[in-house]
Amino acid sequence: MEPMADQVCLVTGGGSGIGQATATALARAGATVVVAGRRREPLEEVVTGLTREGLTAAALPGDVTDPADADGLVADITERWGRLDVLVNSAGANVPRRDLASLSVADWTAVVESNLTGTFLVTHAALPGMRAQRFGTIVNVSSIAGYRAMELTGPAYNAAKAGVNAFTESINLADRRHGIRACAVCPGEVATPFLAFRPTPPSAAARATMLQPEDVAAAVLFVATLPPRVNVELLTMYPTQQRDWSAELR
């Protein structure tokens, strides 16, 4: 039997990178998967690829930083499938000018909203239904920068991901009695299109040593397929070969 059979999953940021890989992993494990993001075209490309494999997937464009869009995503899923079992908050972003001396107020706000506020808004929308069905798994894609501030990622991203980790703990404190569990998956460097926004984008050789999106997706699937009695609150994963970032920081 497929481990995710009969489960309905929402993956935000599902049009590329970790979100796309996670949506693929969940669908191949038997889930009905909805991918969400601001741009319709990449979402539909993901869905087309999955349906060609005979898998069940749908695209719902929306901006997770907009409360109305976040509520609408969950409402649309509930209306169509009657439930939402797994939420993967993978949407997030960073900015090129991210060091404290260069960081603008507008960029700070954008980074915090995309990584932290969006995670809160979609989770806030999903929780009532999960409470009613007394089951739900929430996986927040965070970062090692969330518990160890890093110069490379910058203060806004560090603070946002630290907030994601604390919010994950808060979900468990409040809602484990309702059968809901939450996990923050904290990867190190992952070779995604996100890297293009770094001040100095890594080379192809450097990206080959990093975690790949499918590695993080495998961790998300592991968490989601554990028995309901098991909750992994924080999962950390690093590339085996840690790179020297000093040249990029200069």
As annotated, the active-site residues are 157
Query: How many CA atoms does the CB half-sphere of 67 hold within 13 Å?
Result: 1
Of 243, 186, 190, nearest to 215 by C-alpha is 190
Q: Is 20 left (phi over 0), alpha (psi -120 to 50) or beta?
A: alpha
Residues composing the chain: 250
Q: Residue 161 has which token pair?
A: 């991901």
Decide: 46 and 71 in contact? Cβ < 8 Å.
no
- Cα 112 to Cα 109: distance, rounded to the nearest angstrom: 5
